[in-house]
Amino acid sequence: MDTTPVIALDLAQTASIGSMVMLVALVAIVAFVGLSVYRTRHSATRETHYRTLAEQATTAEARFADGTQATVVELQGVRAELKNTHTELAAVKQRLAALEKLLSQIG
């Protein structure tokens, strides 16, 4: 009995199975590499957006600080004017009291 055809058939089946396994492994490797490249690009894009948002937040904070500083300066000016007005009002009250006293002495 000649077993050469059976061995050749087994060898062909083994080669087919081996090549299919290699093909599946190659497809899996390519898929994982492609997924890794996609995730890396997506991560880089998110990081770029994050940096842009961080810069915008920093700029907004700086504008807010400048606005707050301007408000502080303006309020200090208003406070100084109010103190001056208060002082002037006290002087007017003193003069009015003196005038009332003078009028009461005359009248």
pLDDT at 106: 87
Token pair listed for 39: 């995730």
Apex CA 73: angle with CA 67 and CA 78, to 5°? Answer: 120
Q: What is the pLDDT of residue 1?
A: 52
Please report, as a single letter, which amino acid is at residue 8. Answer: A
**Taking residues 68-96, what's their average pLDDT?**
95
Per-residue tokens: 88: 């002037």
Residue 12: what pLDDT?
75
Residue 2 has pLDDT above 60, yes or no: no
pLDDT at 63 over 60: yes
Find the mean pLDDT for residues 55-81: 96
Position with higher pLDDT, 53 vs 14: 53
36 or 9, which is more confident: 36
DSSP state of 64: H
- Token pair 């998110």: residue: 46
pLDDT at 3: 58
In the structure encoding, which two tokens stand for residue 68, read together? 């707050």
Give dist(CA 35, CA 28) in Å, integer. 10
